[in-house]
Structure 1
């Protein structure tokens, strides 16, 4: 999904490659002359609040950075800022289940984070652990090259057809030197295991004084999954999971900027904490596990709308949500062909499938 004020090139297919997505982002930066404001190849080593007389509302931020291309040229550079937006994503610290038996496996073990080329696994028997987006996509990507691909997961059986050499089994019970046993009693031998088991958040650059807690996939204390309740000049962009990225980022950025420039007044710290606790309790009451604290899914549209309404901003076009749901339905129905489909937005409310 494109930024609202910068549509994709009409010549592109509906499902673009990562290379085309990168080019789109670079075009966006050039079009709005943003590149001059960005300091590339820079690693943030530390972010720390500087509090005048204990006033958490008017802190400044001490940020230490280092040039990654010239690591030996000197120490970190320290600067001070009025606000900090943490936008480091959450797909860089792979999470692999703690299984002692993995040490006995003689084949290759890797995380989807390190998966690059399917040809590397030619004629192998591959076990995919996890059936989220990465697990499903990698399984399909491997199928023309691998001998067989087995997807181990705990979800209901897929509705989509799969390649003839791809099958699904239950979760892992035990792992041996080459053999893996599953909870349903099935056993099979594998050359490689690919864990598609998600990622952990990584805020190792935040000083303890930032008062950010990460526990079992939940980041606190955040108002609207975004703004630090104690230090409202600190925000965390895009920590949510399962959402349409750019409309989500757009709503969050506009909301935070409106709070920064005083266009809107945030609730009190106590009110923000109560709002966070209430929203989290709703998830628990629905039976969702603790780690789903920032999961969006169908919630994302009301969430985006509420943020934009709060600041009086223009709402996203209804066609975005409609098209998103249609693509999800097509993917669920047939993961093998949905990327070949073509869609065209007709107006703010309608789209057609070509």
Structure 2
């Protein structure tokens, strides 16, 4: 008969064995906002994780680099920052949970201020020691019920492969340009770049510039270049009613039909001579390290199928953060990182694959029924606050206050009113549902209690 001591020791050993087996290991890809947020929450919950970052910096696209093309290690430059960029959303919607932006900074801070904020965030939460810098993830595959992650040291060329229970993909999707294919482009003798490579307006001084695209970067870069260009032609088909009083040398044009050596013909038959073109035509979804075993269908305009806009339905131990559009992206990233951490910790259980697929299919069918492209599968827009409520209800994470969506809605109206002045407004949160908007110079208050 076994002694009590022997049985006690055996029980301890078995407990330790199962504890080791149950210990979850997480791979986080990228040290931008998504990666830093994930690292913070995983650390707070005592979950074993590592962050792989291909560069020697944190901050992802928020770090300005005057270079274009590739970095010192031959890797494509990830950042799309330009010298005069300021956030296009106000301070409250750019703050990461529990870590406010400093007092006294502009309501729409510059990239430099915001990048410093991210560095302070990493320092405050002691995140950097969990980041393996200069490690570029080259392959993620599913094999024998684990994630096999291959990464390469960009200096030494040494290749590593490790096993993980969960993968959080947080490397963003603002670095692979979506380039249009316009007839005759190769004939054009001027310069053509994508907004990803736009840095300063000075090179366009006294030149005839064509900007293509009317998304946030198209409008912002267009006005930035117009400050010094001889003329600014803006080609787009947006139905948004911008009421901005544009300068006389800013001319709205329809879509480009074709190029010739010295200019472009537009679809309305008009012709304009130009010197330079800046394509502000967005970015493609590009995750070359995810192989077919991941179970995702990835094309330049969508990543599917995803539950709650982020969970890989076919392999739910993989979460892709930050794919939502038309939302307070920083707020959304923070909420998604908290949801992913709660999932990994086991605070809640996902529905079955069939149930998750059914929910996703309903969204996809609704998009197709409206004649929209599948890229709209990532759009939140007016459903943003509802989305935050769903994440909290399911996972138990603290709810994103409704006031964030309300601020974004008013900010959209301010942009429609005047793209030159919308950054003059200061937004101050009063409580979860209320904010005060102040016109910086005139101190006019609009208090919203909803």
Bigger mean CA offset, 212-221 vs 265-274:
212-221
Residues 21-64 of structure 1: CA deviation (Å, up to 9, x unaligned): 1111111111111111112222111111122xxxxxxx221111
Say which of 408, 421, 432 aligns to 1:337. 421
CA distance in 2, matches of 1:78, 1:40: 16
> Contact conserved, 2:254 with 2:267, CA < 8 A, in 1?
yes
SS in 2 for 1:94: coil
Say which of 292, 310, 313 aligns to 2:376. 292
Say which of 352, 360, 364 aligns to 1:268. 352
CA distance in 2, matches of 1:11, 1:39: 34
TM-superposed CA distance for 1:164, in Å, is 2.5
CA distance in 1, matches of 2:373, 2:314: 26
Report what 1:55 is aligned to: none
CA distance in 2, matches of 1:201, 1:263: 30
Residues 307-338 of structure 1: CA deviation (Å, up to 9, x unaligned): 11111222122221221111111111100111
Report what 1:350 is aligned to: 434
Report what 1:211 is aligned to: 295
SS in 1 for 2:379: coil
Instruction: Within 5 Å, give how 1:11-90 maps onto structure 2.
Output: 11-51=104-144, 59-68=145-154, 70=155, 73-90=156-173
Structure 1 residues 290 and 74: CA distance shift in structure 2, 3 A: closer
Q: How many residues align?
A: 344
CA distance in 1, matches of 2:300, 2:147: 27
> Contact conserved, 1:140 with 1:163, CA < 8 A, in 2?
no
Say whether 1:189 aligns with 2:273.
yes
TM-superposed CA distance for 1:215, in Å, is 3.3
Report what 1:119 is aligned to: 202
Say which of 240, 247, 250 aligns to 1:163. 247
What RMSD in Å do the two structures reach over aligned CA positions? 1.5
> Contact conserved, 1:130 with 1:152, CA < 8 A, in 2?
yes
CA distance in 2, matches of 1:321, 1:235: 24
SS in 1 for 2:407: helix
Where in structure 1 are there 5+ consecutive unaligned residues?
Answer: 52-58
Say whether 1:150 aligns with 2:233.
yes
CA distance in 1, matches of 2:401, 2:209: 42
Instruction: Within 5 Å, give how 1:317-336 maps onto structure 2.
Output: 317-336=401-420
CA distance in 2, matches of 1:178, 1:151: 17
In our comparison, the structure showing a higher alpha carbon Rg is: 2
TM-superposed CA distance for 1:85, in Å, is 0.5
Where in structure 2 are there 5+ consecutive unaligned residues?
Answer: 1-93, 439-450
TM-superposed CA distance for 1:270, in Å, is 1.0
CA distance in 2, matches of 1:241, 1:155: 17
